[in-house]
Amino acid sequence: MIPIDPMSALAGIQSAISMVKKASKVANDLGSLAPMIGKMFDAKSVATKAMLEAKRDKKGSNMGVALQIEMALEQARAFEEELKMLFMQTGKIDVWQKIKARQAEMDRDDAKEIAALKYAEKKAKEKEQEQLEIGLALGALFLLGFLVFVGIYELMEFCKTSRCGR
């Protein structure tokens, strides 16, 4: 994934929100807004990831990053409330509730998938560490065996030229 500038991500959210608001004024029904609303939530996701990446990279102050993250999320929350009201006004609150239930289900699935990936990554690191330890142990054993062999050889050579135990 190509890293995105947090400011560009925030601009993407603002652009998507304004586009949905403009379209909602002329749309015949909420169904026709679905692709644009989906793009807005995609922009929110991208912006959130960009902000978190910027925080990890420590570019800028913590206060600045925190402010940007919270302002973007607050703007998205406010828009989500407006969207909820739009569903209520059109008598489709049941659809909104189904959307929110599906989102919660998908969020749970994402969390499980992330946990499984982290577990697999942890297991892979443990296996790599174990293989490293086995390699070091085998190397140490080989070195010890080599030193014992050299010691015995040197002792036998010494005994040939001098008097050992006789």
165: confidence class by pLDDT, cuts 50, 70, 90: low
Share of residues in the chain with pLDDT > 90 (%): 25
Q: What percent of the chain has pLDDT over 70?
A: 68
- Does an H or E element contain 158, and which? helix 93-161
* Token pair in block for residue 30: 């909420």
Q: How far apart are CA 31 and CA 90, in angstroms?
A: 11
- Nearest Cα neighbor of 72 from 88, 92, 52 is 52
Residue 70 is predicted with a pLDDT of: 78
* Sequence-separated (6 or more) residues with CB below 8 Å from residue 93: 87
Rounded to whole angstroms, the Cα distance separating 121 from 142 reads 31
Give me the mean pLDDT over the 152-166 stretch.
Answer: 81
Question: Please, how many CA atoms are within 13 Å of residue 66, restricted to the half-sphere of its CB?
Answer: 3
Is residue 16 within a helix (H) or strand (E), and if so which, with residue range?
A: helix 6-26
Map tokens 């001098």 to a residue. 162
- The whole-angstrom separation of Cα 133 and Cα 89 is 65
Angstrom distances, CA of residue 53 to CA of 6, 9, 48, 60: 9, 12, 9, 12
pLDDT range class, residue 84, cuts 50, 70, 90: confident
> Which of the pair, 43 or 129, is modelled with greater confidence?
129
**Mean pLDDT of the region 149-156:** 92
Mean pLDDT of the chain: 79
The whole-number pLDDT of residue 60 equals: 65
Q: How confident is the model at residue 26 (pLDDT cuts 50, 70, 90)?
A: low
